[in-house]
Amino acid sequence: MLDKSPASPAVNVPNDLAAHWMPFTANRAFKKAPRLLAGAKDMHYITVDGRKIIDAASGMWCSNAGHGRSQISEAIAKQAAALDYAPPFQFGIPQAFELASRIAELAPKGLENVFFCNSGSEAADTALKIALAYHQISGQGSRTRLIGRVRGYHGVGFGGTSVGGIVNNRKLYGTLLAGVDHLPATYDREKQAFTKGEPDYGVHFADELENLVNLHGANTIAAVIVEPMAGSTGVLPAPKGYLKRLREITQKHGILLIFDEVITGYGRLGHAFAAERYDVLPDMITFAKGITNGAAPMGGVIVRDTIHDAFMSGPEHAVELTHGYTYSAHPLACAAGLATLDIYRDEKLFERAKSLEPKFADTVMSLKGLPNVLDIRTVGLTAGIDLAPRAADLVGKRGYDAMVSAFHDNDLMLRIAGDTLALTPPLIISEDQIGEVVEKVGKVIRAVA
């Protein structure tokens, strides 16, 4: 049967923006002055009116290999023509097993098994459920408490929101999950300001876990989940030794440690995973975003073999883990993931990020001293620039104005977290483009002074 659906125009600019309720967006302000994108290639987005916008955000921490990679789009198209969808429950596709093997090869030794989902939010909730289930089948069903961290972000599911520690993401939703507690944030501006890489001060923040163990009892705690670098809250690198200390305490008390690497995975900190940078072996790693270069929704959890193997008991016909999603290991996402990993490998993008880190840090730090700049933090190819709020009752307004100025007046895309500007460019960025981005950011900071 012929496909008689009408062909879409190259650029379809809507004349009515009302129907779309946009996520994490100031909808009323956006619809008065839309920021509409029509295309993307390499380091740039293309607006509907044809302007090139340099992408200093990798889209949304996703497009580590830059935009418009034909290798990925061709792999998706080829897969769509051959197999558009297959049920992931009780059936499988070869590409899912190949991709899982390649992800496990990149992960630290001992993390051998991959459970697929479709986003970082689903990955966080999946990891938390695996932790709870593992303790149940191990005869430690009293371990139901989950511990996150203040200023942490683990997506928008009920589990991830509960262990997350960003106030504005939580306050509309009531009590969320019971039995959740939080470690303190790792940031102290007075002692860490203008740090390149991991700050020297702050390893002691991990010791608060001992206090939570004393408060609740180790036999009630299932897992601790942290980001090696807290990204969505404004780029907070882990202090030196902090993650190792957390690992020591969790192992001492039989608590699982989950690294949320949705942002830090796939090269952002110069390694396949931040766990490698910090020489720490967690029990699980969540991933998403960079696994497909943002070209198709995919996420997942990499699980230690000892945890996975604990589920492999009972009758062989029985489902071992009653969890999953309709689109787990979707064929198009698997094709995108395999093509993306090929690009990372062939172009040595993880190594490239590591080599560019000093240049990136030095260049971003040149913004110190500009109006209202309170702090700058860099790690890997990531930077957070804190600006002073316009007033106590206008927190986030200067940051919002900066984002708007960047897009409309300076042909620049950056991310904001309140009054923090976050720079997270694709790993293909050149040294000249680093200079271009920072020059534009300087103009933006002056414009919103």
The per-residue pLDDT for range 276-303, each reduced to its tens digit, is 999 999 999 999 999 999 999 999 999 9
Nearest one of 325, 258, 265, 324 to 289, comparing CA atoms: 265
Residue 50 has pLDDT above 50, yes or no: yes
pLDDT value for 4: 47
pLDDT value for 15: 74
Residue 209 has pLDDT above 80, yes or no: yes
pLDDT value for 176: 96
* Percent of the chain with pLDDT strictly greater than 90: 96
Residue 365 has pLDDT above 90, yes or no: yes
**Pairing state between β 256-260 and 236-237:** unpaired
Q: How far apart are CA 194 and CA 209, in angstroms?
A: 27
pLDDT value for 293: 98
Segment 129-150 shows an average pLDDT of 98
Residue 10 has pLDDT above 90, yes or no: no
Residue 114 has pLDDT above 50, yes or no: yes
The per-residue b/e assignment along 374-390, b for 16 or more CB within 10 angstroms, e otherwise, is: ebbbbbbbbbbbbbebb
CA 148 to the chain's CA centroid: 16
pLDDT value for 11: 65
Given pLDDT bands bounded at 50, 70 and 90, which one contains residue 86?
A: very high
Residue 143 has pLDDT above 60, yes or no: yes
pLDDT value for 14: 75
Average pLDDT, the chain: 96
The model's pLDDT over 384-429, given as tens digits with 9 standing for 90+, comes to 999 999 999 999 999 999 999 999 999 999 999 999 999 999 999 9
Given pLDDT bands bounded at 50, 70 and 90, which one contains residue 13?
A: confident
The model's pLDDT over 306-344, given as tens digits with 9 standing for 90+, comes to 999 999 999 999 999 999 999 999 999 999 999 999 999
Residue 51 has pLDDT above 70, yes or no: yes
Residue 235 has pLDDT above 90, yes or no: yes
Residue 7 has pLDDT above 60, yes or no: no
Q: How far apart are CA 217 and CA 344, in angstroms?
A: 44
